[in-house]
Amino acid sequence: MPTYSPSAKDITREWFVVDAEGQTLGRLATRIATVLRGKHKPTYTPHMDMGDHVIVINAEKIVITGAKSEQKLYHSHSGFPGGIKSVPFAAMLDKKPVAIVEKAVHGMLPKGKLGNAMGKKLKVYAGTDHPHAAQQPQPLPAHV
């Protein structure tokens, strides 16, 4: 029997919606990254983008455990000497709650073109409304 290798025409993509209200950031990000990579499918192939689309709502109500809400910092650097900026988690949650979830998930995806393609299938919204009702998203199963 020859080894089965799926081609691009064999990929079927689904849409899932996740409510982030009250969920822990890291545990939620791992579930989302698994679905974006396609590792929950029996036809998973590491060198192909097999994943599904994921919509995250209520990103502003994400939770982190312990003292991380006071200690966790998000860094950015302009490229110039002394150009580093650090923003605490609480301030980031007020200004850009979408960026918190996106950054956590993108850190768990492969680096390079493949990871960028997977990351484009992630849609994060701070509130409960999203413009993807036409795709008829299903709730993300608990076993993923």
The predicted-structure confidence for 76-107, as pLDDT tens digits, reads as follows: 999 999 999 999 999 999 999 999 999 999 99
The number of distinct structural domains making up the chain is 1
Note the pLDDT of residue 113: 97
Ranges of residues in the chain whose predicted pLDDT is under 70: none
- Residue 144 within a domain: no
CA-nearest of 136, 132, 115, 134 to 123 is 132
- Residue 107 within a domain: yes
**E strands in 78-134:** 84-88, 122-124
Note the pLDDT of residue 144: 83
Q: What is the CATH number of the domain that holds 20?
A: 3.90.1180.10
Note the pLDDT of residue 62: 97
CA-nearest of 19, 18, 17, 29 to 108 is 29
Note the pLDDT of residue 119: 97
Q: Against a cut of 0.75, is the pTM above it? A: yes
- Residue 24 within a domain: yes
- Residue 79 within a domain: no
How many whole angstroms separate alpha carbon 124 and alpha carbon 32?
Answer: 11
Note the pLDDT of residue 88: 96
- Residue 100 within a domain: yes
**Helix-, strand-, coil-residue percentages of the chain, each rounded to 5:** 35, 20, 45
Domain carrying residue 108? 15-64+92-139
- Residue 81 within a domain: no
CA-nearest of 80, 138, 75 to 103 is 75
- Residue 46 within a domain: yes
- Residue 82 within a domain: no
